Amino acid sequence: MHKPFSQACANNQVVIGEILEHVFANKKHVLEVGSGTGQHGVWFAKKMPHLSWQMSDREQNHAGIRCWMSDHPASNLLSPLPLDVLSDPWPTAHYDAVYSANTAHIMPWQAVIAMFSGIGERLLSGGVFCLYGPMKYLGVLEAQSNVDFDASLQQQFAHQGIREFHDINALATKYGLVLQKDHPMPANNRLIVWQKS
C-alpha cells in the first residue's frame, strides 16, 4: 500500500500540538474524528504519552492510517475505528477530549451537524472538543488564500466550503458545548476549543 502523506499535517502538527499539550494536559481519552492520513494521530500520541489516542475515519482511510501506525508504533495509539459521522454508530466509550482537523469544510453540512451531535453525546461533562481549520467570520474570509481555497472547495464539490464561525458555534451550543477559546493559527487557520457543560 502506498503510504499517504499530507504536507499540511507536517506543517501544522507542531503548532497545533503546542496548544493541545495545554488543553489536553489533564485529559486521558481522546477521540479523533476524520483522522485522514493518520499523521496527526501518531504525532500527538507520541507528544502526549499520558493520553490514549483513538483515531477514526471512514474505512477507506484505514489502510493509510495503519501504515503510519506501523511506522510509528505507540502503546497509547489505538487501532482506528470506522466512523462516518453520518452513517456509522458512534463508539460506545466516553471520551474526555475530541479532536478534529480540517473536516468541517470537507463534510456536507448535514455531516457537520452529525459530528457535533455525536460529540455532544459521547463527550464527558467537562470534556473538551478542539476543531482545527479555516473559518469565516460574519460572512467574511479575510485572507485571499482562504477566499481562493473556499472557491476551489465549492468547485470540487458543491457541499464543501469554509464554514461560518457563528453557525458552527451555534451548533456547539445546541449540543451542550461552551466556547472556551478561538485561537488564531498560522496560514489563516483557527483552533477552536469548546467544553462540555
The CA distance from 157 to 146, in Å, is: 16
Only segment of 53-61, 65-73, 153-161, 174-182 that touches ligand SAM (CB under 6 A): 53-61
Bridge partners for 178 per DSSP: 195
Residue written as cell 466509550? 93
Minimum CB distance to ligand SAM smaller for 38 or for 127: 38
| Residue 180 near ligand SAM by CB under 6 A | no
Exactly one of 20, 27, 36, 192 binds ligand SAM (CB under 6 A); that residue is 36
Contact in structure between 47 and 25 (CB atoms under 8 Å) = no
CB atoms within 10 A of CB 85: 24
Site string for ligand SAM, 79-98 (x = CB under 6 A): ----xxxx------------
Q: Which letter, b or e, does each residue of 150-181 get, where b requires 16 or more Cβ atoms within 10 Å of its Cβ?
A: beebeeeeeebbbbebeebbebbeebbbeeee
Contact in structure between 120 and 94 (CB atoms under 8 Å) = no
Only segment of 64-72, 102-110, 143-151, 177-185 that touches ligand SAM (CB under 6 A): 102-110
How many residues in the shown chain lie near ligand SAM by CB under 6 A?
20
| Residue 45 near ligand SAM by CB under 6 A | no
Exactly one of 23, 29, 34, 131 binds ligand SAM (CB under 6 A); that residue is 34
| Residue 103 near ligand SAM by CB under 6 A | yes
CB atoms within 10 A of CB 145: 12
Exactly one of 42, 48, 57, 130 binds ligand SAM (CB under 6 A); that residue is 57
- In angstroms, give the least distance from the CB of 39 to ligand SAM: 7
The footprint of ligand SAM (CB under 6 A) covers 6, 8-9, 34-36, 40, 57-58, 61, 83-86, 101-103, 106-107, 111
